[in-house]
Structure 1
Amino acid sequence: MTLSTSNTPVRIDSPGRRIVKQFIEDPVAVVGLVLFVLVALIAVAAPWIAPQNPYDLAQLDIMDSSLAPGESNFMTGQIYWLGTDQQGRDMLSAIMYGLRISLLVASISLGLAITIGTIVGVAAAYFGGRLDSFVMRVVDLQLSFPAILIALILLALLGRGVDKVILALVIVQWAYYARTVRSSAIVERRKDYIDAARCLALSDRRIMFRHLLPNCLPPLIVVATVQIAQAIALEATLSFLGVGVPITEPSLGLLIANGYDYLLSGVYWISLFPGIALVVTIVAINLVGDRLRDVLNPRLQK
């Protein structure tokens, strides 16, 4: 948008353009975003770009077990750039497929947790009273316990499985979004535009989700960025402990666990490279989240 005056035209950027402009001013955040996009693309394209399907028994050869990084199959000549595990699976391919499971679990649980937490938080702030008090007591009670403890108890009751892990992560995370949205919505609820909407006899649902919720999105986006990294780390921890995803659909955490018993024997690469992939993914997301927090919160801007 450009405003012309008698002397010099003045350009006013839209909020979205301003956010993008401020975000790319931080090269570290840009690197984090590029890394995360690259990791996501690798995970999505794993079936087409991976050297082998590490979970297809027909493609595995026990003679290739525990090959060091850079060694090759003496018959086919295939080079295993990151080595192989004790079952002869190519670690590069296993990491690509493991990223798919880790990102899939984190993304689905994030979407469900945001939906539930947002609805509960907006309703609690808008209606107030006993509903608000009840919701906040439940949120305070849940947040008083470590997330890993709640997830372990739930998976001990539900059993192993991708769907079970997703359900456990949703139950663990929804309270963060409910508290965030509720805090922002309480401030917005007291403003004049909400009173004006009520005077126009708009329905409560329309006021909550068409007028109140859009003004609560900036802090919700920041929390979601941080929580998806926590969800990936939590899922990896649960899988490492043996209560997460099954061995037929291993994530990065289970890949790390598979090589844990071989570290002292010098076969370090089975755990090392999945661990590096996990750290890079989490660090990249956190870099993006930190920059978004600075951009979306005017108080943190210089």
Structure 2
Amino acid sequence: MADTADTGHPILAENDRPPRTLERSESLLRRHVSTFFSSRGAVVALAVLAAAIVLAVGAPFFAPQNPYDLTQLDILDNMLPPGEALASGKTAWLGTDDQGRDMLSAILYGLRISLFVGAASVFFASLIGASVGVLAAYAGGRIESLVMRIVDLQLSFPAILVALVLLAIFGRGVDKVILALVVVEWAYYARTVRGNALVEKGREYIEAARCLALPRSRIVFRHLLPNCLPPLIVVATVQIARAIALESTLSFLGVGVPVTEPSLGMLIATGYNYLLSGNYWISTFPGVALVIVIVAINLVGDRLRDVLNPRLAR
């Protein structure tokens, strides 16, 4: 069996790995982590993203009110500017909207929906796209040509257009938006993994696996696919930001998530009609939160790209 430790590729079987190879793998991981945290911008972005996730997941605990519980709302609290007191005695630090909902609470709950939609759509899209891409690269021939023509056809259409058509067919809902985003995004992962798998396909460890007469499924999913993960991780990280932005656009247009489960895009759309009347906070603060999250994700993804591909390091 060829020694692949120097090229960064794992030995064919977990149990066959010598201690020296495991030590090198752990050292490589520590070096990647150290390189990532050497960038102050990446660390700040990661901290902001982690804080956003914690606030979104713990929205029921951090939010002053449940903005979608009608028993907690008072119509007399509508259109309060930032810093005003609610009828309940609590302070609306970011103001309230036209229905008397505390904007801070609405943003935290909306952020939870946006992050969930983005993460779920990327998970399923990457799972499908990576499997299709690596199988196409390993099979080659007509199968690869057919799969890549389908991928090219998918990528030739604007993502927003495809999503709008699908949601017009499926209707509104969080699950419908996730399904539409999966259909739109899977081709990106298929193309990325296929390109990397074509390179890995000619490596010595794949030839060694073939000589050992290992099953094709084991070669593809146990050895070939894991070595295609670095670029896949980078693409998935960036695509989370893209999925959140696309979901917000769909919700802003009124075809995304329903009013009962509003995301940041829906909150921006709600306050859009009041921008010119001086009630800027209804739309501005959700927009700022959306921009901060997307920029943080993109900065983390950009740093991961540099770490996992040293040739691109700046």
Note whether the superposition's TM-score is higher than 0.5.
yes
Tell me if 1:44 matches 2:75.
no
Residue 250 of structure 2 corresponds to residue 244 of structure 1: no
Q: Offset at 1:78? A: 1.4
Q: Deviation above 6 Å: which 4+ runs of structure 1?
A: none
Give unmatched runs, 5+ long, in structure 2: 1-22
Cα displacement string for residues 70-110 of structure 1 (whole angstroms, at most 9, x for unaligned residues) = 0012x432110000000000000000000110011111111
2:285 aligned residue = 273
1:153 alignment partner AA: V
Q: How far apart are 1:203 and its partner, in Å?
A: 0.4
Moved more, 188-197 or 81-90: 188-197
**1:103 matched to 2:139:** no
Deviations 1:237-289 (A, max 9, x none): 00000000000000000000000001110000000000000000000000101
Please report how far the alpha carbon of residue 122 of structure 1 lies from its aligned counterpart in structure 2 after TM superposition.
0.7
**Equivalence for 1:138:** 150
In the TM superposition, residue 191 of structure 1 has moved relative to its aligned partner by 1.4
For residue 198 of structure 2, what is the amino acid of its counterpart?
A: I
Task: Calculate the TM-score normalised by the size of structure 2.
Answer: 0.91
* Residues in 1 aligned to 2:42 and 2:239: alpha-carbon distance in whole angstroms: 17
Matches within 5 A, 1:82-93: 82-93=94-105
1:123 to 119, 129, 135: 135
TM-score, normalisation: structure 1: 0.95
Q: Which residue of 2 aligns with 1:195?
A: 207
- Measure, in 2, the Cα distance between the counterparts of 1:76 and 1:67: 13
Letter of the structure 2 residue corresponding to residue 45 of structure 1: G
The aligned counterpart of 1:79 is 91
Question: Is structure 2 residue 81 aligned with structure 1 residue 54?
Answer: no
Match of 2:159 in 1: 147
Q: Find the aligned partners of 1:288 and 1:259 in 2 and give their Cα distance.
A: 30
Cα distance in 1 for partners of 2:107, 2:285 equals 8
Matches of 1:86 and 1:268, distance apart in 2: 12
Paired letter, 1:190: G
Aligned to 2:77: 64
Match of 1:285 in 2: 297
2:241 is matched with 229
CA distance in 2, matches of 1:167, 1:76: 40
| Aligned mates of 1:105, 1:223 — CA distance in 2 | 17
Shift of 1:190: 1.1
Q: Could you give the per-residue CA deviations for residues 157-201 of structure 1, whole angstroms, max 9, x where no partner exists?
A: 111111110000000000000000000001111112111101111
Describe the SS at the equivalent of 1:195. helix
CA distance in 1, matches of 2:82, 2:246: 28
Letter in 2 for 1:60: L
Alignment partner of 2:262: what SS?
coil
Q: Which whole-Å CA distance do the structure 1 matches of 2:67 and 2:127 have between them?
A: 35
Give the whole-Å Cα distance in 2 for the aligned partners of 1:290 and 1:301. 10
1:200-228 alpha-carbon deviations (Å, 9 max, x no partner): 11001100011111111111011001100
Quote the residue 1:205 is aligned against.
217
Gaps of 5+ in 1: 1-10
Shift of 1:301: 2.5
Aligned counterparts of 1:53 and 1:291: Cα–Cα separation in 2: 36
Give the match's secondary structure for 2:35: helix
Superposed counterparts of 1:165-204, under 5 Å: 165-204=177-216
- Secondary structure, counterpart of 2:225 in structure 1: helix
Structure 1 partner of 2:4: none
Are residues 1:214 and 2:226 paired?
yes
Structure 1: distance between partners of 2:282 and 2:29: 43
Deviates more, 1:153-162 or 1:236-245: 153-162
